[in-house]
Amino acid sequence: MTEPAPYPRHWEADVLLSDGGTGHLRPIRPDDAEALQAMHGRLSEQTIYRRFFAPYPVIQPKELKRFTVVDHDRRVAFVLLVDDTLVAVGRYEGTPGSDTAEVAFVVQDDHQGRGIGSVLLEHLAAAGQERGLRRFEADVLSGNRAMLGVFLDAGYTVSRQYESGTVQVAFDIAPTDKSREVMRAREHRAEARSIGRLLRPGGVAVVGASRDPAKPGGVVLANLLAAGFEGQVVPVHPSADAIAGLPAFRRVVDAPAPVDLVVICTPPSTLPGIVEDCAAAGVHGLVVLTDMRSEDADRDLAARVRAAGMRLIGPAGLGVIRPAGHLNASLVPRIVASGRLGFFAQSDALGIALLDEVGRRGLGISSFVSAGARADVSGNDLLQYWEDDPDTNVVLLYLETFGNPRKFGRLARRLGRVKPVVAVTTGVSPVAEALLAQAGVVRAGTVADMLDVAALLDAQPLPEGDFVGVVSNSSSLARLVERTIPAAGLRVGRVQVVPVDSGAEQYRPALAGAIEDADALIAVFVPPLGTGAAEVGAAVAELAVTSGCPVAATFLGQ
């Protein structure tokens, strides 16, 4: 008898489910016997019959040992835990020397429909490949359409045979283009929904709410109320009965109505108990403004939150804003206007400055997330969300590091085909810079440049070709623009230079002539003494409205 392989810790993973919730997946252990028996006791008779093809009210001790003691090679099993409760098991069983194994799943009734079977199959197939398996087989009751769907929809080439009320399915587990596409589509839906639940909460609680307007808990509570959030706002305080005219509660679980999002402004030592309280209350996500002061503490917090079925923004971030929903669950004092710019920032201090500049320029945002230490939610999650968000047309990123560069490149490249992605970076490596270029991300050297680009992309259509016309009342500036256009991979179209003292009456025909055979236009104007820019600006704006081409204008000295 061969010795079992060591416990494969690298198979452990926090996973996102199809409804945006989270779970922790890991290989089964002998000490899971009691939890497995308890889960089996919560299964309906129908679920038990579909898994075992017979009534099976209690797992006998001998079978319980066989189920929980595996060799992590030809006998592998994964359990899925939500809030530290075992809710699903998936396993494959083969024989030594064979490259084929039988696979089976069972999911607790109240967690069915969350995509757990697909997650288990993906991880079992990856483990099987690692252990040298080639093929999975399964017997499924013909009436068990949900389980058949897990196999048929996974992207593998599945063969089926029907016999005596069962369907025998078999398929090679090597990834195919289709299976990779299915996995990425599932990942996309799960990550997008998990962020959507955080940005569209029905109720928000502030743990550490304060009457002191200088304390973070007082700032966040005041910002929520000032923004006019229409859902329930719940102050949580260990002793106060009311704060800011609202009833205060000792714990989130005491709130009279559901709370989806919780903002936490309390010391690091309080976080474990608060996470447990929020999980009991059915919270979807936490925004932790607290600085945990170490990467180990950040990782421990993220693991606790995800194991409890929630997502984590932070720690040490600014929070989240969605103006259209009157949501300002952040430390930012003023909510900016609603618009079409999705904004992700890592730096908290810079985030406030960025939003101030957005407001000063008269721009608006669809949503803003400051993720701080990015222990869980990252820019990749926001890219997934913004791809489907009808309120977002342009994505802005302020990046200091990349969590998963390969995934970022894949997501940014896909998103950039339908919505421009503009980024400012600090301190990233040359490799990361190359990644941004390959992903088609529009680079901006400064925050001001990024907002200039954002304003243009938000307000103007995309060009249909690569010819750019130029109009200016300065020959030297016109030549400068001519030299810049090829450097951007574009071609110079018609160039019109008008006299330096030209006004709108000279600019209008020049603009019309330059744009006649161009796909975009750049208008440069240097106002001479005694000539105002307003009339020329109106002429350029009129052309932008009527031409259907993107028009960029630079008015020096304004």
Contact present, 25 and 82 (Cβ < 8 Å): no
Q: What percent of the chain has pLDDT over 70?
A: 98
The values of phi and psi at residue 55, to 5°, are -60, 140
The values of phi and psi at residue 127, to 5°, are -65, -40
Residue 521 reports pLDDT greater than 90: yes
As a whole number of angstroms, the distance between CA 166 and CA 140 comes to 5
Give the pLDDT confidence score for residue 426 in this predicted structure. Answer: 79
Give the pLDDT confidence score for residue 3 in this predicted structure. Answer: 65
For residue range 337-347, list pLDDT tens digits in order.
Answer: 999 999 999 87
The whole-number average pLDDT for the span 435-460 is 89
pTM for this one?
0.88
For residue range 300-332, list pLDDT tens digits in order.
Answer: 999 999 999 999 999 999 999 999 999 999 999
Contact present, 401 and 428 (Cβ < 8 Å): yes
Q: Edge to edge, what strands does the sheet with 261-264 contain? A: 232-236, 203-207, 261-264, 285-288, 311-313
The whole-number average pLDDT for the span 347-373 is 87
The whole-number average pLDDT for the span 405-424 is 92
199-228 burial, b at 16+ Cβ within 10 Å, e below that, comes to bbbebbbbbbbbeeeeebbbbbbbbbeebe
**Token pair of 460 as six digits:** 């103007």
Assign 445 a pLDDT band (cuts: 50, 70, 90). confident
3-state secondary structure of 74: coil
Q: Edge to edge, what strands does the sheet with 442-443 contain? A: 327-330, 319-322, 365-370, 338-345, 394-399, 421-425, 442-443
For residue range 205-214, list pLDDT tens digits in order.
Answer: 999 999 999 9
As a whole number of angstroms, the distance between CA 374 and CA 406 comes to 17
As a whole number of angstroms, the distance between CA 211 and CA 202 comes to 24
As a whole number of angstroms, the distance between CA 207 and CA 337 comes to 27
Q: Taking the CA atoms of the chain, what radius of gyration do you get in angstroms?
A: 29
Residue 401 reports pLDDT greater than 90: no
Give the pLDDT confidence score for residue 333 in this predicted structure. Answer: 87
As a whole number of angstroms, the distance between CA 221 and CA 211 comes to 9
Q: Which domains does the chain have, with CATH numbers?
A: 9-175 (3.40.630.30), 194-459 (3.40.50.261), 467-555 (3.40.50)
Residue 442 reports pLDDT greater than 70: yes
Give the pLDDT confidence score for residue 326 in this predicted structure. Answer: 97
Give the pLDDT confidence score for residue 480 in this predicted structure. Answer: 94
As a whole number of angstroms, the distance between CA 186 and CA 117 comes to 12
Assign 367 a pLDDT band (cuts: 50, 70, 90). very high
Contact present, 115 and 54 (Cβ < 8 Å): no
Give the pLDDT confidence score for residue 504 in this predicted structure. Answer: 87
| Run of H or E residues at 517 | none
Average pLDDT, the chain: 92
Closest by alpha carbon to 22, among 311, 220, 291? 311
Assign 97 a pLDDT band (cuts: 50, 70, 90). confident
Residue 428 reports pLDDT greater than 80: no
The whole-number average pLDDT for the span 221-227 is 96
pLDDT: which is higher, 500 or 108: 108
Give the pLDDT confidence score for residue 2 in this predicted structure. Answer: 57
| Cβ burial, residue 463 (10 Å; 0-12/13-18/19+) | middle
Assign 388 a pLDDT band (cuts: 50, 70, 90). very high
As a whole number of angstroms, the distance between CA 29 and CA 506 comes to 81
Instruction: Please report, for residues 242, 423, 450, 471, 489, the alpha-carbon distance to residue 482 in angstroms, rounded to integers and kept in the order given.
Output: 65, 25, 22, 11, 12
For residue range 474-490, list pLDDT tens digits in order.
Answer: 999 999 999 999 988 89
Residue 409 reports pLDDT greater than 70: yes
| Cβ burial, residue 14 (10 Å; 0-12/13-18/19+) | middle
As a whole number of angstroms, the distance between CA 112 and CA 540 comes to 59
The whole-number average pLDDT for the span 118-135 is 96
The whole-number average pLDDT for the span 451-464 is 89
Give the pLDDT confidence score for residue 534 in this predicted structure. Answer: 86
As a whole number of angstroms, the distance between CA 16 and CA 58 comes to 30
The whole-number average pLDDT for the span 406-425 is 92
3-state secondary structure of 141: strand
